[in-house]
Amino acid sequence: MLILGGAISQLDNAWAGGPERLIDHFPEAAASGCMQCHRDIEPIREIGSEMLNQIMEKGKAMGDPAGCVVCHNGDPTETRDVDLAHGGDDFYADPGSPWVNGKTCGTCHEDQVKVQWQSLMMTEAGKIQGTCWSFGALTGYEHKFANYAVKNPEDRSTRLGTKAYRQYMDALAKLEPNVFVDEHEPLPEALGFDELDKLHDDPSLAAFTYIRQECNRCHHGVKGRSSRGDFRGMGCSSCHIPYGNEGLYEGADTSISRTESGHPLTHQIQGTRDADVTIGEVTYHGLAVETCTTCHNRGKRIGVSFQGLMETPYASPLDENAQNQPGLHSKHYIAMEQDIHYQKGMKCQDCHTSIDVHGDGFLAPTNLAAVQIECSDCHGTPDQFPWELPLGFMDEFAAEVASGDPRGTTPDQLPHTWAGANHDRKDGFLLTARGNPYENVVRDGDEVIVYTAEGKDIRLKPLKKLVEEKSISQRGLVSMQGVAKHLDRMECYTCHASWAPQCFGCHVKVDFSQKERCPEIDSSRMGFDWIAAGRKHATPEHRTDSGEGEYDLMIPGKISELRSYLRWEEPMMGINGEGRVTPLAPGCQPSVTIIGADGKPILTNHIFKTPGGMERSGEEGQLAIDMSPVQPHTMTKNARTCESCHASDKALGLGIKGPRKWNEKHVVDLETTDGTILPESARTQMGAIENLDHDWSQIVDEQGNQLATVGHHWKLSRAFNEDEITRMSRSGTCVACHKEIPESDLAVSLLHHVAKYTGQVPVSEDDHSKLVNKILLTSAWGQVLAATGTLAVVVCGGFWISKRRKKKLAANS
């Protein structure tokens, strides 16, 4: 029992400025027993906010003038015993936890809390299916498992969103029944310590160890790993309570340690532009991007990419104290170009809607299933304003471009978002591709205003207006209007993504060595089971736990991961689930090594295969290494060049040239010219990777045969086929001209020498472009004039001959 007597005077002396205190604005709060320890704590929302006023009024009605019990529960009348003050098992240290937030956040935000169990951030069903796929397509195309058992509501009209949106999603569910399932089964248990011999018969069982220890530690049902960059809350607190990367508290409450990691940065809620969060002398609004990045730093890595961070195996450059770069999310990084939206001061929530993030109450196992927005929703096209586009544009999930009536705008926001910021609607909210209001984006005449969470009002001109004002570059007009198929078949970000993280080859080692069967090791290999941790939270005696630090949930197997190599430039392309050309990045590409309980390898550098016939394969199956369609979140105003796609084998999926076959073992030592290794002591430098007879970056050959899987979640996802590769590839185009230059053809040689001695040989890109354009126009007009002249000669000649004959006949008669 901790006695609290005397705490008030000590805290009075300790507080010396900093963030403003709750009691400075609500003096009556000092009468709460909570203030015996937390007298200096900052208010959970800014002074004057409706939310804070409601909390204080509700707290007063509950007998707590400080309002603490509204969220945390506990006994505000207890002033001596901490355990009694905290109410024992009914104290909510993290009120946002999904295991208690129905009694806290959900009393006001009922809809957001109700749909959390079907949300992608809770189920992680896509990651589970993806990992099962890489271990041999264990569940096929079906998204069978989630972290917890969960079903869709029986009444489909309860889906959040407009009627048009609900109809749209019902149609998608019929198109993709393996994705939009009606229920998920709970993820199977990992092998126990007494079951490890099963690995010899079925090594793929290691997948569930991998998922439980690594892949799914970042869902809302757990607090997650306590390491730099990974600190966060649970449930609602995962996003709405700010945590610094160091996990240290910097608020006013002197009862909270400033040196012990694992605490929020401040006792304040971050949300919309209306919610002020003050850290030191700085006040900000909205959810900090780094909050999202706490989880979105693996897989597609969209969070760190948006910030301009690309992981690297090197800890350089050193910091100002000559120390290695510290690990962040357990990685090191290179500073890259940031997404243009980030540079403009936008945050993740400025594009992604409430439904994108919270969900709509129905299962959506992948990002593409859950996200309802497209670039054209704000930017339109060169020929149509956003409100002139039909619903479904760029979100077709079909080979044909969406058609239909203009989507227009709406004056109405969704009922469940009443607590968000209220904006000037102008000419109405824009609509997303799936028919919901974009509640921070409005039409104003022929322009668009984006009300950002930070508080900026960004006015943008849609593409159609920019074209009318002649503000689009010639290259942009050519790519968007001159080649009309680009907008019909491609995502905007296929060209405008400046780079993408490409971590080729994920060498996963699952070491099940156990000391009693492998005495030469120091200790048995094991790791923490994050799914078991979430399910432990679900039990009555642990539902109020604010973390997993005290849980003993170790399971056999220790996971380690390595890469083959990293790239970022010129992302390759393929077809995504919407049927559009998209950038691709390595998804789950594991080469698996499994060590048995006795410390001996069961599999080494093994790539599993799918069952026969899947992913455009034959009876032998397809390599279960996936190249994932991705929106890289690395947008730039200036698009990638035409040559970076049309003259790049890598971009077409034909692979990076240079690496030798990965299925060959390499020994490096003294050797003869015929490759005979001389020292008997020579060791293998690079082991062979079974089945991989091409580079990781190659997903298709020139005949259109697919060599690995591409976005296996969706029916339409695939590599380019032979016809598409033939149509797109312009490799060798330069040779078509230069094989004749300077002296292979008399006419060309003459022109080349004239240009050489008159200083007209092109030396720059601009010179070359002008020359090619001149040749094109000269050739075109020359051929047209020649054809026209020939036709004129024929017609005139015919007329002359006809007239001559008539004269001759007249003369003879």
Average pLDDT of the chain is: 93
pLDDT beyond 60 at 11: no
| Dihedral, 64, 67, 71, 76 alpha carbons, nearest 10 | -30
The pLDDT confidence band at residue 19, using thresholds 50, 70 and 90, is low
**Residue among 580, 603, 765 nearest 688 (CA):** 603
Q: Is the pLDDT score of 12 beyond 60?
A: no
Asked if residue 370 lies in contact with residue 120, where contact means CB atoms within 8 angstroms, the answer is yes
Is 78 exposed, middle or buried, given 0-12, 13-18 or 19+ CB atoms closer than 10 A?
Answer: middle
Per-residue pLDDT at 3 = 45
Cα gap 400→489, rounded to integer Å:
8
Q: Supply the pLDDT for residue 17.
A: 47
| pLDDT band with cut points at 50, 70 and 90 for residue 87 | confident
What is the model's pLDDT at position 18? 52
Q: Which amino acid is at 37?
A: C
Amino acid letter, residue 288: A
Within 8 A by CB and 6+ apart from 483, the residues are: none
To the nearest whole percent, how much of the chain has pLDDT over 70?
Answer: 98
Alpha-carbon span 310 to 88, nearest angstrom: 45
DSSP run (H or E) holding 167: helix 163-175
Inform me whether the pLDDT recorded for 15 exceeds 80. Answer: no
CA angle 131, 133, 139 (to 5 degrees): 110
Q: What pLDDT does 16 receive?
A: 43
Task: pLDDT band for 301, please (50, 70, 90 cuts).
Answer: very high
| Unique residue bearing structure tokens 């905290």 | 86
| Alpha-carbon gap, residue 516 to 708, rounded angstroms | 40
Split at pLDDT 50, 70, 90, the class of 804 is confident
Residues 587/241, Cβ–Cβ less than 8 Å: no
Q: What sign has the CA pseudo-torsion 111, 116, 117, 120?
A: positive
Strand 429-431, strand 409-410: pairing: antiparallel
DSSP state of 497: B
In whole angstroms, give the CA distance from residue 540 to residue 526. 27
According to DSSP, residue 485 is labeled: H
To the nearest whole percent, how much of the chain has pLDDT over 90? Answer: 82
Distance CA 630, CA 764 (A): 35
Q: How far apart are CA 633 and CA 303, in angstroms?
A: 8
Q: Do 243 and 291 meet the contact criterion of CB atoms below 8 Å apart?
A: yes
Dihedral pair phi/psi, residue 303, rounded to 5°: -70, -55
3-state secondary structure of 723: helix
Residue 481, helix vs strand vs coil: helix
Q: Is the pLDDT of residue 106 over 70?
A: yes
Domain boundaries, the chain: 376-484, 733-772
Mean pLDDT of 528-543: 95
pTM for the full model?
0.92
pLDDT band at 132 (very low <50, low <70, confident <90, very high): very high
Among the residue ranges 647-656, 687-696, 755-764, the one predicted with the least confidence is 755-764
Pairwise CA distance, residues 373 & 439, whole Å? 12
Tell me whether residue 813 is exposed, middle or buried, using C-beta atoms within 10 angstroms of its C-beta: 0 to 12, 13 to 18, 19 or more.
exposed
pLDDT digits (tens, 9 = 90+) for 676-705: 999 999 999 999 998 899 999 999 999 999
Give phi and psi for 82, each to the nearest 5.
-60, -45
pLDDT of residue 257: 95
Half-sphere exposure of 511 (CA within 13 A, CB side): 17
pLDDT for residue 573: 97
Between the CA of residue 594 and those of 262, 522, 606, 632, 679, what are the distances in Å?
A: 33, 19, 9, 32, 30
**Per-residue pLDDT averaged across 42-71, rounded?**
96
The 10s digit of each residue's pLDDT in 195-219 is 999 999 999 999 999 999 999 988 9
Give the tens place of pLDDT for each residue, 399-456: 999 999 999 999 999 999 887 778 999 999 999 999 999 999 999 999 999 999 999 9
The confidence band for 742, taking pLDDT boundaries of 50, 70 and 90, is confident
**Per-residue 3-state assignment (H helix, E strand, C coil) for 228-292:** CCCCCCCCCHHHHCCCCCCCCCCCCCCCCCCCCCCCCCCCCCCCCCCCCEEECCEEECCCCHHHH
